[in-house]
Structure 1
Amino acid sequence: MTTEQRTEAILFWLNKFGDQPGLNLRPCTQLITVWCSHLPSITHFCLTGKLVRRTAFSPKDAYKEAKEMLGKAFNVRKTHKHLVKQLSSSQAANGDEKEIYKFLVLITFNIAICHEDMICKFRHDLRNKGLEDILGRTLQQCCDNILGDSWFSVEMTPILQRKNLSARKTREEVYTNVSSSCDLNNTLSSPSFQKLRQKNIVIEKLEQENNVLRNQCENNVKKVNSYKEYLEEAEQQKENVSSELRSRINELNSDEKRLRMENKILLREKSCLEYDISTKEQAILDMSRELKELKSSLNESKDEVQRFQQINSKLRESSDSMEMTMKSMRKQLDEARDTVLSQQIF
């Protein structure tokens, strides 16, 4: 099994994937062209399980996103992480076909675990092209976790040495090839694949439960934050109200002091007014008494005036009478004087 055959098998499957409804991607004839649409579309499928056509802005972005996806997938499963670490997104972005091939092998292997039907649906096309056996061997080798530095070796007969801690001896564990006729169904149904798939199912279930719990936790955090904001607002309102109350209390205390002082002044003024009122009331009483006396005196005076007027009237009458008498007597006197004088002359 040559490197060209491995590359042809992976590239053929990748083009069949891109030819599906919803994608309809133009076939790639070289590995260096897969970054544009095939790689971002298959990366999106691995992340979401949905066939959506994607286009990358640059090879660097495409391989960086693909490596992040693979790192997350195998890190969660806690398997094959060393294979992901061997990937170089910068070398692949620069057109290193061996590095691109390693990316595509791990992506195809990841899909074989998560979406087995996406591999099997093209089994007949691969068989007709004579590529089923090659793809099956490649996936089995990847599943057995024995790629290491033999990504492009023709034969796959690596030997892993492990320590038997109980016997303190080294034993050899040989991973043999699948049979000369490697059927994809048999490969994907092998115990190692079944174990990975079951583990992936458990992980997906745990991730779903974790997502539910995370959503619940986020909702609870939002509620807590909402309550916290509400409490902060309430605390702020409480502080504002307390501040207003303290200010109002201070104002009331000041008003109370002022009113107490004013009340003292008013009490003093009241005492003075009461004294003045008492004094004036006494004065009024005295004046009333004097007024009564004056009225009484006035009445007496009126009587005296009337008597005086009567007397005065009588006096006027007497005066008039006396004046008339005097006039008469003066006339008589004048007549007598004239008589005397005339007698003297004669």
Structure 2
Amino acid sequence: MDRLPLTDIISIDEVCLDLDPHCRYALVIQDFYTGNPIDLLSTRRTNDTEPYFMAIPLEERARVRYLISDMYNPYINWVNRYFPNAVSVVDSFHVIQWITHKIDNHIRALIKHFKARDREAYITNGGIIDEHTYIPVSREVYLLQKYRWLILANNSSITYHTDLRMDSHLHCMMNTYDYEDCLFMIDPDLKELRDLKELYVQFNTRNAGKPMDARIEPDELIGKYLHCNQVMFRDFANLLIRNHDYIINSFVMVEKHGPGKIYSSRLSNGPIESLNRKAKDLKRLGRGYRNFEHFRTRFLYATRDNPVINAVTDYNPVSYFDMEN
């Protein structure tokens, strides 16, 4: 199947297919307006992507105005190499995902610490560790494992219940606020980490469709992060500085045509993440692909709205001959 023409807004992302040593991370190129895959490349390596894009006529590449991607530097630099009239857009989801991942790693380190403490206490009290040993889950490990979503989720998406319910592990009545307070008592840093994360989440939501306002506001936010006590947020501030213009471009809204209506949509890699899941599902349901071209054809055919398969139009019909008695 042929690639589709480039539009003025395209999204790019890699998907792990691991079909062979040459095709570990395939490159998905998507039309932002329709959600259709423009093409699927076997790799994101420069040795393969450069001849591919340079083979596309300059006139077509010059039509691209926005190139949406994550914070992978080679993708960001493609606007300078292949798309002369485009600007890079760093998807807001990946920015928030970066800091959420750092906080999650902090919580995982806490869980590991308390599990080691519980194991040591078990041995000190005369317990014997073997493959059948079960060490009871401590209060701290239980709360950090089951309720860390209260720290990681956007605060606006959490429904706080005030009614009390019996917690069978803690043997007491608890509501959402109680679980949150217990987490903060385990590690006071969790409250500061959650609050600092929420500052960016609120900024990201508040300025959707207002790129001019979004360009000014981050300076104060970056200043808070640079002078806070949390190393991960000082690193986050430096990330915001490095990708400032690309992040601001993500606040632009464009019109898209949906089922029977026109609606405004923020520049985002959300649609391509959904497309990546379809690629992984196709590989899983196929129970093993080893031929990339075969996989590419199946993927493009299954995910395009009106797929057209290349075929030979002039064919030799089968001739039938009457058998003489």
The higher-RCO structure (CA 8 Å, 6+ apart) is 2
TM-score, with length taken from structure 1: 0.19
Larger Rg: 1
Q: By percentage of residues, which structure has more helix?
A: 1
Q: By percentage of residues, which structure has more strand?
A: 2
